[in-house]
Structure 1
Amino acid sequence: MPPQRRAAFAEESAEVEVLYANLEKLKSLSKKIQGSMSRLEVSGRTVQDAIGPVYGNTQRLQVMNTNVDRVLEAIERAREPLDMTKREERILRSRPDRVGLVDYMSSIDRTNQALRDLKASNLRSNQQVISELTNLLSVGTQSLEDVFRDLCRRDSQPIEPLGYIMKSSEFPRLVQQKTGQLRTIHSQIYNYTSQVSPNELAPSAKIYAHERGQYITLSLGNLAQASLSTARKVGGADAIYKQGSNGIGTYASGIHGMYTAEYDNICLIFSREEWGHVLSATCEPSLAAFASTLRDLDTHIRTNLLTDCYLAYEIVELVTNTSVNLEDRTGELKQGMSDALKPVRETAKSSLSTLLTDVRSKIQQMQSLPTDGAAVPITSEVLRRLQIMTSYLPPITSIMRSLGDGGWSAPNNASSNSSIPTLKSFDVGADGKQLFSHYSSDTIETLLSNLEQRAKSLLRGKSVQGVFLANNAAVVERMIRSSELQPLLGHSAKLESWKKKASQLYTDAWKETSVHLLDVQYTSKQPRPPSVGQGVDSAAVLRSLSSKDKDGIKEKFKSFNVSFDELVAKHKSFKMEPEVRRQLGRDVQTFIEPLYSRFWERYHEVDKGKGKYAKYDKSQLSSILASLS
């Protein structure tokens, strides 16, 4: 082995020996460490056995200490409401004006919050405090209600609405500062009472409704009295009501003005969901007074229905318009206004049939008619009624729609069957003017048909009956043309038929006269009478007749002359309207003249021009007939 290798090997062996020596030392050290760990473990167990009970006691003491702290905190919290109650009680049992309204309401806020917290805790120990705080809040709220009432009363002195109406001025409203105070106070009261009585008006709202409701009612009192006083009959029992002469229009204007002003106040004080309820409660007393006034007016109207039914129509229109305007502005009060109007509206309905019944009754009660055929006053009276009605078309057509077309025909229809709807009454889209036209036609038909029946009973002779009927029809037609009835009725076929019937009655009397102008011709046995120029040769006609036939012709002329003269005299003695005289005169001329001309042309030579029998020639007769017009 080379020397170098031996030297290296010796060095490595030395290193291995060193490593073995270190390994032995490490084993010895490990044994020592293991022995130390065993001893330490035994010592740890000894310490644990000694310290364990002490540590457990310490933990229990810590928990107990925590519980004691919590108990002390709970006691402190329990004592705090008592201290707070005493503190707030001194404020809330004082008057708000002494401690200041702002501080007073702050105290109520604190008390209210404390009450909510105590209720949330649900501790039995708090029940007594809860009761005390509730009573304290009640005292505070009552004091605020008194303040609220005082603020309302200061600006609730009655006013005279007439002055505002005459000047077209806005009705007074509460000033902004006042509405702000009232809103703040109401909010405080509402927050408390909404927990106690959630479905009722807050006490402040009730106070407002009472104070302001009384203010409105007293302010409108004079207008209510004026409406009743102006309804009294001044021009006699038969005086017809004149449109606008009653104070109901001013009363309705006052109601509209005051209600809208009050609605503006309410919107500034109360919450949105309260507006309608507060407004209804505020207006309830004055609406009740208004309804009472309308009932009194209704009693007056029913007592004087034939002359004052127009007041009922006026009330229906005014109150309906007021109700619609209030509904548009406030969204409320429509039902109350409708209930107040109901008695007058029912009376207005019944008036339509009552007026027709009155026409029939008055005519049937007539004991005599003008012997000269003159028109009777009831005709003008009935047409005057219709003329006046045209000034009340909106309310009348509204009533007629509710009755249905022709619903006015049955007596007492509105009063007896008002609760029973008919198919016609559902036709809300019916043309109001057409309904009024139908009612007017029914009225005229009732008038003329009853006059015809009465004329047949009381007047002798068709001629005077015809003149009488024609005169009344002429008055009807003239009063239609000269008024607002013309565009509503226009050309009435029914009226034309009555004029034709009157003319037929009158000309029937002339038919007896025309009989004398008829003769019998036997054209098959006799030759055609010779003509002179374009006319008939009377002499030749007479030569062809026997003596007996000639005597018959003479008698016909004599009878015609007597009858004709009587009828002409009677015609001139009749009292005729100008248009009736013209029409009947033309009718007679058109009927008689052709017959007489023919008869005269054939037989006028019967007295050889002496005029003993043929009293009138054609031109004379034509002149007389023309004078009848």
Structure 2
Amino acid sequence: MAVGVNNGRHAADEEARAEVDVLNSRLEKTTQLTKKIQACLARLDATGKSVRDVAGPLNGETKKLQVLGNNIDAVLAAIERVRQPADSKNDEEQIIRMGPDKAGLPNYLASVKRLNKALAEMKASNLRSTQQTVAELQRLVKLGNTQLENAFDKLLRNETPRSIEPLHFITKDKPFPVLSQDKFARLGLMNSYVAAVHRQGGGAGAPQESPVARIYIEIRSQYLASGMINLATASSSTAKKKNPDAIYRAGTNGIGTYAQAMEGFFSAEYENICNIFTREDWGPVFEATCQPSLVELGRTLRELNGHIKSHMTTDCFMAYEIVKIISELSSNLERRTGELKSSLAASLKPVRETAKFSLAELLEDTRKRASGLQALPLDGAPVAIVPETMQRLQTMVDFLRPISSIMISLGDGGWKSAAASRGGAGDVVPSLASFDIGADGKEIFAHYCTDTVEALLAALDGRARMLLQKRPVMGVFLANNVAVIERMIQTSELAGLLEPRLGVLDAWRKKATGLYTETCKDVSMHLFDVIHTSRGGGGGGGGGGRPTSGQGGMAVVDSHAILKGLSSKDKENIKGKFTAFNASFDDMVQRHKGYSMEREVRQLFAKDMQNMIEPLYNRFWDRYHMVDKGKGKYVKYDKSAIAAIFLTLY
């Protein structure tokens, strides 16, 4: 058994040794293979380096050859492109020489554009051999552009009438003529091309400086100016009235028709421009086209302004009308076109300044004329300056809209000095801060009217004190003028503006009444008695006693009883009072009837006289009328008779 076991172990060991030998043999072969691979890699690396050393320069040369090939191809292509316009030059020249009318505008424009493109490409090639062709192409392009400009000029002139009668369109309320739609298309195509060439060629930046814009402005500006020249002349000539002293009436000057024509012409012209030029060119071309007409408008307004200044008191209303008309023209054109506002404002400025100054001038004129009166009616009649002044204010209401804007710019009370009315600093434009944005122009004008009335009445009052001297006639004079003023306010459009301010007239009316009724006080003095009866010593005498002044006719007074208690001296005194009263009363009545009074003044004063005198006379008559025993020697009027006299005074 032991021998068998040992034999088995020996066999296993032998087998293990055999496997180790096999592994060692394989490892040795692997090592040898690795060395061979390393040797191959070394040889391959050396070979790659040699290839790189050889291929590197070869690759660079290949790239150079590729660039050279590309350049050669580009040159060949450029030469081919150069040859094409040179070859087609004769064809394009034939189209150009035909002109846009014969060749057809689209075909002509396409040809000119091809020539421009060819010229640009040949200039970019910068080949000496093409210089002659470049020069010929430049000549053709210039010819093409010139012919387009000439065609634009010819077409526009043919479509623009030599003369036009604007009154035909104004009176029939027709829109002013514009160019036809087919002409818009042709002119627009030509402008689009020429303007683009002008910009690309480094022309002036202003749109109105392009060749076709200059052509348009020249032709159409002459058309506009010639269409309005007669109306400008008419505006100047109609300023001269047959009667220089007559107050200007709205609509009698031609400026309104002139402005209507200008609005019609300019609106139509803006439509033309919008259909021909590009959006960014509309404003500049429109302004330039209208400029000669605006210059003429400015000249006309300056001429009218000179006339207004020379006839300020009668023709200042023309200034208000011009302010209204030109302001409305500016607003309408700005709404339609967005242009011309500043140009029209500059033209209007002299007249507007005169309109502002006129307010102070008129007020001062009223004051000077009233203060300079050398004589006043001795019967207290009103003077002509009063209705003239009120008529002036009434006429102002016809121009309330422009006057309101002027009033707001002046500010409340700004008319009180000429410097304020002139605007102070001359050409300095008022800032927004100088305006009261909440101001009511109508209210300020109403204040101006009351200032005028105050100045007028104050001046007349001063002249009355100096020239009339007698207080009753002074009262009549003032009251008459107040009545005329109030009537002219209430019977005109001034009523709505001034009725809340009529308190100023109440004060003057009260003053006039006070002056006039001083005569009544003198007459009334004869009706006051300080007689004491022998019985009462202080309260009254006779049977009935003396009624207090508050009793009036309510108490029964016995004249016999009162007179019975008087002494002979007192009775003679009463007779004297009746006699003096009769004389002063008759004189007062006669003078009252002799004064020239407005109807409402006569009624006012008659009522005041009656209220002051009749109650006193009735009381006096009740007490003492029996002093002449009814013979009428001293007591001329009974109560019914004196009441009848007062009725004749109304």
Alignment TM-score, normalising by the size of structure 1: 0.84
> CA 1:215–1:61 in structure 2 vs 1: closer, same or farther (change >3 Å)?
closer
> CA 1:511–1:194 in structure 2 vs 1: closer, same or farther (change >3 Å)?
same
> CA 1:185–1:410 in structure 2 vs 1: closer, same or farther (change >3 Å)?
same
**Matches of 1:443 and 1:291, distance apart in 2:** 33
Residue 449, structure 1, aligned to residue 458, structure 2: yes
Aligned residue for 2:544? 531
- 2:76 is aligned, of 73, 90, 95, to 73
- 2:203 is aligned, of 197, 205, 211, to 197
**Matches of 2:112 and 2:527, distance apart in 1:** 115
> CA 1:52–1:285 in structure 2 vs 1: closer, same or farther (change >3 Å)?
closer
**8 Å contact kept, 2:105–2:186:** no
**8 Å contact kept, 2:532–2:540:** no
**8 Å contact kept, 1:354–1:412:** no
Q: Deviations over 1:229-268 (max 9, x none)?
A: 222212x111222221221111111111111111111111
Q: CA deviation at 1:60?
A: 9.2
**Matches of 2:475 and 2:409, distance apart in 1:** 39
> CA 1:416–1:320 in structure 2 vs 1: closer, same or farther (change >3 Å)?
closer
Larger deviation: 569-578 or 101-110? 101-110
> CA 1:544–1:291 in structure 2 vs 1: closer, same or farther (change >3 Å)?
same
> CA 1:339–1:527 in structure 2 vs 1: closer, same or farther (change >3 Å)?
closer
**8 Å contact kept, 1:402–1:428:** no
- 2:166 is aligned, of 142, 161, 172, to 161
Q: CA deviation at 1:275?
A: 1.2
Aligned residue for 1:179? 184
- 2:503 is aligned, of 493, 502, 506, to 493
- 1:315 is aligned, of 311, 316, 322, to 322
Aligned-residue Cα RMSD (Å) equals: 3.5
Residue 380, structure 1, aligned to residue 387, structure 2: yes
Aligned residue for 2:413? 406
Aligned residue for 1:586? 607
**8 Å contact kept, 2:119–2:137:** yes
Q: Structure 1: 5+ residue runs without aligned partners?
A: 1-36
Residue 104, structure 1, aligned to residue 93, structure 2: no
Q: Deviations over 1:353-376 (max 9, x none)?
A: 221112111112211111111111
| 1:65-464 equivalence runs, <5 A | 66=69, 69-70=72-73, 72-73=75-76, 76=79, 79-80=82-83, 83=86, 87=90, 95-97=99-101, 99-114=103-118, 117=121, 121=124, 137-157=141-161, 158-195=163-200, 196-197=202-203, 199-201=205-207, 202-234=210-242, 236-411=243-418, 413-415=420-422, 417=424, 419=428, 421=430, 426-464=435-473
Larger deviation: 406-415 or 172-181? 406-415
Q: CA deviation at 1:61?
A: 10
Aligned residue for 1:19? none
* SS of 2:637 mapped into structure 1: coil
Q: CA deviation at 1:112?
A: 3.1
Q: CA deviation at 1:525?
A: 3.3
Q: Deviations over 1:32-90 (max 9, x none)?
A: xxxxx9xxx9xx99xx9xx9999899959955972773475276168448837955567
Q: Deviations over 1:69-115 (max 9, x none)?
A: 34752761684488379555676577544655334322321233345
Aligned residue for 1:34? none
**Matches of 1:501 and 1:186, distance apart in 2:** 79
**8 Å contact kept, 2:461–2:478:** yes
**Matches of 1:181 and 1:546, distance apart in 2:** 123
> CA 1:527–1:408 in structure 2 vs 1: closer, same or farther (change >3 Å)?
closer
| 1:572-583 equivalence runs, <5 A | 572-583=593-604
**8 Å contact kept, 1:357–1:411:** no
Aligned residue for 1:30? none
Q: Structure 2: 5+ residue runs without aligned partners?
A: 1-39, 546-553
Count of aligned pairs between the two proteins = 587
**8 Å contact kept, 2:475–2:516:** yes
**Matches of 1:281 and 1:57, distance apart in 2:** 66
**8 Å contact kept, 1:404–1:424:** no
Q: Deviations over 1:463-494 (max 9, x none)?
A: 11111111111111112222222222225111
**Matches of 1:92 and 1:420, distance apart in 2:** 56
**Matches of 2:285 and 2:347, distance apart in 1:** 20
Aligned residue for 2:590? 569
Residue 509, structure 1, aligned to residue 512, structure 2: no
**8 Å contact kept, 2:531–2:570:** no
Q: CA deviation at 1:534?
A: 2.9
Q: CA deviation at 1:304?
A: 1.6
> CA 1:541–1:411 in structure 2 vs 1: closer, same or farther (change >3 Å)?
farther
Aligned residue for 2:561? 540
* SS of 2:439 mapped into structure 1: coil
Q: Deviations over 1:276-321 (max 9, x none)?
A: 1111111111111111111111112221221122222221111111
Amino acid at match of 1:182: L
Aligned residue for 2:10? none
**Matches of 2:60 and 2:600, distance apart in 1:** 133
**Matches of 2:617 and 2:440, distance apart in 1:** 53
Q: CA deviation at 1:560?
A: 1.8
Larger deviation: 85-94 or 277-286? 85-94
**Matches of 2:642 and 2:431, distance apart in 1:** 61
Amino acid at match of 1:503: T
> CA 1:434–1:118 in structure 2 vs 1: closer, same or farther (change >3 Å)?
farther
**8 Å contact kept, 1:405–1:424:** no
**Matches of 2:290 and 2:595, distance apart in 1:** 65
**Matches of 2:303 and 2:143, distance apart in 1:** 46
**8 Å contact kept, 1:404–1:422:** no
**Matches of 2:443 and 2:135, distance apart in 1:** 72
* SS of 1:346 mapped into structure 2: helix
Larger deviation: 409-418 or 426-435? 409-418
> CA 1:551–1:59 in structure 2 vs 1: closer, same or farther (change >3 Å)?
closer
* SS of 1:535 mapped into structure 2: coil
Larger deviation: 345-354 or 127-136? 127-136
**Matches of 2:607 and 2:498, distance apart in 1:** 27
Q: Deviations over 1:534-590 (max 9, x none)?
A: 332233333433443333333322222221111111111101111111111011000
**8 Å contact kept, 1:401–1:425:** no
Aligned residue for 2:629? 608
**8 Å contact kept, 2:89–2:137:** no
Amino acid at match of 1:341: L
Q: CA deviation at 1:522?
A: 6.1
**Matches of 1:579 and 1:479, distance apart in 2:** 13
> CA 1:546–1:73 in structure 2 vs 1: closer, same or farther (change >3 Å)?
same
**8 Å contact kept, 2:82–2:122:** no
**8 Å contact kept, 1:118–1:126:** no
> CA 1:53–1:422 in structure 2 vs 1: closer, same or farther (change >3 Å)?
closer
* SS of 2:509 mapped into structure 1: helix
**Matches of 2:496 and 2:284, distance apart in 1:** 47
* SS of 2:422 mapped into structure 1: helix
**Matches of 1:426 and 1:127, distance apart in 2:** 71
**Matches of 1:84 and 1:503, distance apart in 2:** 111
Give percent identity, aligned residues only.
46
* SS of 1:598 mapped into structure 2: helix
